[in-house]
């Protein structure tokens, strides 16, 4: 696959193809002229020595200081050297590649005053997989992601550090080994490269993509759990949801009906019990609420992928406008909302896990193992899932309600969007493990239920595909001495990470997808 950038139509799916699958990137020729026009105007400002913020002034509260034409290039290099103030672990490779891609696309809007060849340098780095070392911490998410983006730029100048072929090298060495020449920045370019919401958007966008898939997995795991508990399918009746027609609720109920089609494990009202617990009965409402939120966030992400988040904006017809497009609030709030939505998928899943391993609630052996007591079975897998669910509750506290003053009180209200994006990434990571645990436990419970029902029942079309796939990764656990549970949990998580579970279920079942 090749992704062609115009500045206007990059999709979330294309972002994933480039960042994770190393799809080749090119620039559509139609995007070039606006970049050239914007740059021409910057050069006129420099030549005429007109005082314009970010071109020949200091930055932030130092905008009061004018810079001579002779010092323009040094001003931009100084900006990168001093703004690269990050701390902590590096961004993962996929997030760093997403950062570069988004920045290229933003610059192609043609309002940043950057040279076209500088954008081409970023494309070359992406296609040859030079991955700058970007510490994940240090951005306030207003005046953009200044610190992390400055780290992105350092290798372009032969500075900083970058990975090439998986090895961390000095920036100049990484560029040399990749066959890419380093460069000097010209007027306005340093600011154009680092002023924007690019890093928080990259992290948040990939978390959004993963959240979309986890919402589908949550339906699959929940359907298996319903069958193992001989749950009541009537709660997913279409008419029940058309009288409260939220899209996510309708989609979840439809998915559950589709997954459970032809199942004889499920029951109807009063066949075994009159009602199920909320964690089964209210899946359409809870999963649905999360899906509606995820769909909203995806819309916001795709707007941001195709936005100019620079400051000042330099148009090709001679205008320089200083505004606030760098401010991360427009993404910080949605990403905080996303953390809540994904956390809830984990919260309800963990409660279903408890219902399956608790003999009082399930009617099956304690902790779903033969000879409980000698064997602990899935006892502590529920503890671990509960720990992750509880951690997510703290991580779901919004970052966007916080602010702190910076830059001599010039930048006096910030978004904390970078922290919002990193929090939701961690929530997604945790929920993946909770859902993996539920899938593994639900399959174990179905095996016990099959034995109890003497093999007279069969699973639904979708859940049978899910069960069969999970059994390729994890087997029935007879006794503790046969396994190390961490290894089994890792295998269950691999069923999600590999994409095979979703692929197999979707091939057999019609699911409504976000």
Pairing of strands 24-27, 2-5: parallel
Q: Give the closest residue to 154 by CA, choosing from 104, 81, 95, 79.
A: 81
Cis peptide before 310 (omega within 30 of 0): no
Catalytic pick among 53, 116, 163, 164: 53
HSE toward the beta carbon, residue 382, CA cutoff 13 A:
18
Q: How many CB atoms lie within 10 A of CB 258?
A: 20
The phi-psi region of residue 113 (left if phi > 0; otherwise alpha if psi is between -120 and 50; otherwise beta) is left
d(CA 305, CA 105): 7
Burial 466-498 (b: 16+ CB within 10 A, else e): bbebbeebbeebeeeeeeebeebbebbbebbee
HSE toward the beta carbon, residue 271, CA cutoff 13 A:
11
Estimate the crossing angle of helix 247-259 against helix 283-305, to 10 degrees.
120
Q: Give the closest residue to 427 by CA, choosing from 401, 395, 399, 384.
A: 395
d(CA 312, CA 185): 17
Under 8 Å between Cβ of 353 and 382: yes
Under 8 Å between Cβ of 154 and 76: no
d(CA 260, CA 254): 10
Under 8 Å between Cβ of 427 and 342: yes
Q: Is 383 a catalytic residue?
A: no
Q: So which residues are the catalytic ones? A: 53
């Amino acid at each position: 696959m090749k992704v062609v950038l115009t500045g206007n139509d990059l999709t979330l799916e294309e972002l994933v193809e480039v960042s994770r699958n190393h799809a080749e990137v090119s620039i559509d020729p139609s995007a070039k002229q606006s970049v050239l026009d914007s740059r021409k105007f910057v050069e006129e400002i420099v030549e005429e020595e007109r005082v314009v913020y970010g071109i020949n002034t200091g930055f932030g509260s130092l905008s009061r200081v004018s810079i001579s034409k002779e010092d323009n290039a040094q001003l931009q290099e100084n900006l990168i050297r001093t703004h690269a103030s990050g701390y902590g672990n590096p961004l993962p490779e996929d997030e760093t590649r997403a950062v570069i891609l988004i920045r290229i696309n933003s610059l192609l809007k043609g309002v940043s005053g950057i040279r076209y060849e500088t954008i081409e340098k970023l494309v070359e780095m992406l296609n040859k997989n030079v991955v700058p070392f970007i510490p994940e911490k240090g951005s306030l998410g207003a005046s953009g992601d200044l610190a992390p983006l400055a780290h992105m730029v350092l290798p372009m100048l032969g500075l900083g550090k970058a990975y090439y072929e998986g090895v961390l090298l000095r920036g100049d060495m990484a560029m040399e080994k990749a066959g890419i020449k380093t460069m000097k920045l010209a007027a306005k370019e340093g600011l154009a490269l680092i002023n924007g919401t690019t890093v928080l958007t990259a992290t948040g966008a990939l978390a959004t993509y993963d959240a979309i898939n986890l919402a589908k997995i949550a339906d699959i795991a929940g359907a298996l759990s319903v069958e193992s508990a001989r749950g009541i399918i009537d709660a997913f009746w279409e008419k029940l949801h058309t009288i409260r027609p939220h899209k996510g609720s309708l989609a979840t109920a439809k998915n559950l009906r589709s997954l459970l089609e032809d199942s004889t494990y499920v029951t109807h009202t009063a066949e075994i019990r009159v009602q199920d617990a909320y964690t089964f009965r209210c899946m359409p409402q809870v999963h649905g609420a999360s899906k509606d939120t995820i769909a909203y966030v995806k819309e916001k992400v795709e707007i941001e992928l195709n936005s100019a988040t620079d400051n000042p904006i330099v148009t090709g017809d001679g205008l320089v406008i200083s505004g606030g497009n760098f401010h991360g609030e427009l993404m910080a709030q949605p990403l905080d909302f996303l953390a809540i939505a994904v956390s809830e998928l984990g919260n309800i899943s963990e409660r279903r896990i408890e219902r399956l391993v608790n003999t009082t609630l399930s009617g099956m052996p304690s902790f779903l193992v033969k000879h409980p007591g000698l064997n602990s079975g899935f006892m502590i897998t529920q503890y671990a899932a509960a720990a992750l669910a509880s951690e997510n509750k703290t991580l779901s506290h919004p970052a966007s309600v916080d602010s702190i003053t910076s830059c001599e009180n010039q930048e006096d209200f910030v978004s904390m969007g970078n922290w919002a994006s990193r929090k939701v990434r961690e929530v997604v990571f945790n929920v993946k493990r909770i859902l993996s645990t539920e899938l593994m436990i639900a399959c174990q419970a179905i095996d016990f239920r099959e034995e109890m029902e003497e093999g007279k029942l069969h699973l639904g079309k979708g859940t049978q595909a899910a069960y069969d796939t999970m059994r390729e990764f994890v087997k029935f656990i007879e006794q503790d001495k046969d396994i190390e549970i961490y290894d089994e949990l890792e295998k269950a998580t691999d069923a999600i990470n590999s994409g095979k579970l979703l692929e197999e279920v979707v091939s057999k079942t019609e699911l409504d997808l976000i």
